[in-house]
Every structure is written in C-alpha cells, then in structure tokens.
Amino acid sequence: MASSLLRGRLLDQERYSCNNSFIVLCIEATSQDDYRRKRKKRNIEDKELTWEEFLQSMEESDDEQEREIP
C-alpha cells in the first residue's frame, strides 16, 4: 500500500505493483505530552539564558528524564 504525493493525501492507501519505484516518508507519531515538552524546550532554546537559568533548565531536563525511566 502506498500514497501518491501528487494528490495531497499522505495517509491515502492505494495498491501499487512492486515494479514501481518509491520514496519512503517516515512520520513520527508523538503524544500531546511529547509535543508540549518539545515546544517548551524549543521556547527555552530561542532565548538567551543567564548562567542561573541555564543550570535550572538542565536540572529540570534531568528531572523529566528521571521520571520517564521506569
């Protein structure tokens, strides 16, 4: 099953024979929590931090990673 990029429907599924050439597009599915975490991190990265703010952001990042480890 594949989807034609020319039709603008990436999740469409059509049958194609194996004689065709294909490009593989991988899409990562993430949860809303992952999205918010990445967005928060990106907002922090966009701003120049003081040394104290930098250390605090590193501690928060370490805390988040420790909570994720089972």
Q: What is the pLDDT of residue 11?
A: 73
Query: How far is 69 from 40, CA to CA, in rounded Å?
Result: 20
Q: What is the pLDDT of residue 69?
A: 62
Q: Would you give per-residue pLDDT tens digits along the chain (70 residues)?
A: 778 777 777 777 888 888 888 877 777 766 667 666 766 666 656 677 788 888 888 888 777 666 666 5
Q: What is the pLDDT of residue 41?
A: 66
Contact in structure between 64 and 37 (CB atoms under 8 Å): yes
CA 37 to chain centre: 10
Contact in structure between 63 and 57 (CB atoms under 8 Å): no
**pTM across the whole model:** 0.29
Q: What is the pLDDT of residue 1?
A: 72
